[in-house]
Amino acid sequence: MAAVANKKITLITGGNAGIGFEIAAQLLAHADSHILLGARSADRGQAAVDDLRARNLPGSLEVLPLDVSKEDSIAAAATIVGEKFGRLDNLVNNAGIMRGEGSLADQMKEFFVINTLGPALMGQYFHPLLLANESVARIVHVTSGAGSISMRLAPPTGEGANIIAVPYRVSKAGQNMVFACQTHELRDTNVKVFLYGPGPTQSRTNTIKAFKTTAEGARPAVEMLEGKRDDDVGKFVHYGFEELGW
């Protein structure tokens, strides 16, 4: 445990698939990196850990049971991290949903709880562990350009402009405000807060070649965690290079 405590500890919510999984894989290229792979499903979390360990990457990792839709799960996870390590170096708010079922009211509630309230509660419970860090700590919110109000008000052009997706768009706009509030709250501390939308990326169920690979989509977020993009603090960064309007 002492050896792990001396590493840079990164918690990734929704880390068992997609962008979160790829962020973990890239960070594990560094021997001084220890990943807490936040997963709602213990089985899926362990399968992801086994996959990453089979790659013989220099870093280390473990599953952290975590369901961002439930406050008691977030509180329990924070207690585990606090008791094990006493601090957190990086937090990636990646867990989220894009599709739902049921009425508009049902979907609005579900999307808001996971995509908006989840990151807010992660801040409430994990900010003290980030602030306990003796050096710079970092938070990366994985968001979407779909949450940009100014883009939605612009003439409908470009890929995705005609997609309605009201629950997703509103919940991501809400997450962006959570980011803004956290940026303001932590502005005079050791914690730097980032907002990053990877744009359309390939996944297990979506392999459209026009979309960037998951590895490409994850790379800017990894650079933020590595301290290579501190000029992006407080900005809405999309695709890794474009700053979006709010």
Catalytic residues: 168, 172
3-state DSSP assignment of residue 163: coil
Residues with Cβ within 8 Å of residue 13, at least 6 apart in sequence: 20, 38, 66, 68, 92, 93, 94, 95, 118, 122
Tokens of 134: 């003796």
Residue whose token pair is 């919110």: 141
Sign of the CA dihedral running 174, 125, 226, 214: negative
DSSP 48-91: HHHHHHHTT-SSEEEEEE--TT-HHHHHHHHHHHHHHHS--SEE
Residues with Cβ within 8 Å of residue 94, at least 6 apart in sequence: 12, 13, 14, 15, 18, 19, 20, 23, 142
Where is 223: in which H helix or E strand?
helix 214-225
